[in-house]
Amino acid sequence: MNEANSESAATAAAVSQLDQIKEHTVVVADTGDFGTMKAYAPRDATTNPSLIFSAVQMDDYEYLLEKAIADNERSGLQGEALIDRIIDHLLVDFGGEILKIVPGRVSTEVDARLSFDIEGSVAKAREIIALYETRGITRDRILIKVAATWEGARAAEVLEREGIHCNLTLLFSLPQAIACAEAGVTLISPFVGRILDWYKASTGQDYVGVDDPGVRSVHSIYNYYKKFGYQTEVMGASFRNTGEILELVGCDLLTISPGLLSELSETNDPVMRKLDPESARSASIEKISMDEKRFRWLLNEDAMATEKLAEGIRKFSADIEKLEDLIEKEMLSD
């Protein structure tokens, strides 16, 4: 090997796995921590009630909670209405700070307790977008997160027609993905790691690589979308290890936690693209017709998806309630 080739090989070998992944997939930071976003330069960022609840208890972000309370205490509202307004402002304040760091979009979540309420979800999404717009942030930089229930897909369908882009979250199955794509949503977030968790607990087995059921689920959804020309983006989420991420290189987007971003940035092993739209278009896949009855039946027949969707909604709802309690305590201590 001549000197020029040696230098080229050395340069290639020095490229981190994270940077190699970015050549094929948009990397999104799954965190509410601004420092992580600055360190790993993702295009987009996602938040959820759990991440926001954790972040506001840290010294670095306590000021955002104090600001949201101070901005709304004299609004004339009281009780639940006031706390609800403070939470909306807090979510949007976080999102606004995040958008100073990332060049793309931030996902902001509708209250999970509205997961089966079409009108309530639509109204809350409009309120969130209006708050962003009062801060000079245009709706093309926001993704409204809604749970991938039948009602969530219907709410997103309404919002997308208004130019409010949606991220359908807590997605564990192909029927959910099809319902979202047919509603014309911008993006879905299949939860890879939570699928793995369920199968490990159910079977007592471990799974790695392409045998990981969460990885298989995203492969199935990605190939279905590309085969039938859906424009909805697929963003793999909720990873348990870097092996899952590496099996999904080529996916439209991957949202990755700080710990796994760090691992990928510190490793220079070669990365191979695993998902490709051209291969998907030539795959032998049967198209599935989806209506409400079919959706509910197929979801019912999938114990994993049914259980993890319900569990996810309960967990996000619980974290919203914790955030409400924290706000009440902060207001009483003033």
Is the separation of the CB atoms in 144 and 128 below 8 Å? Answer: yes
Is the separation of the CB atoms in 62 and 33 below 8 Å? Answer: no
- Local structure of residue 302 (DSSP, 8 states): -
Catalytic (active site) residue 22: no
Helix (H, G, I), strand (E, B) or coil at 68: helix
Question: DSSP assignment of 308-329, as one string?
Answer: HHHHHHHHHHHHHHHHHHHHHH
Total count of residues recorded for the chain: 334
**How far is residue 167's CA from residue 145's CA, in Å, rounded to a whole number?**
5
Out of 22, 100, 124, 145, pick the active-site residue.
145
Taking residue 208's Cβ as centre, other Cβ atoms within 10 Å add up to: 12
Query: In 3D, which of 139, 224, 150, 223 has the Cα closest to residue 186?
Result: 139
Q: Mark out the alpha helices in 41-173 (DSSP H runs).
A: 49-55, 62-72, 79-99, 118-134, 150-161
**How far is residue 183's CA from residue 32's CA, in Å, rounded to a whole number?**
29
Tell me which residues are annotated as active site. Answer: 145
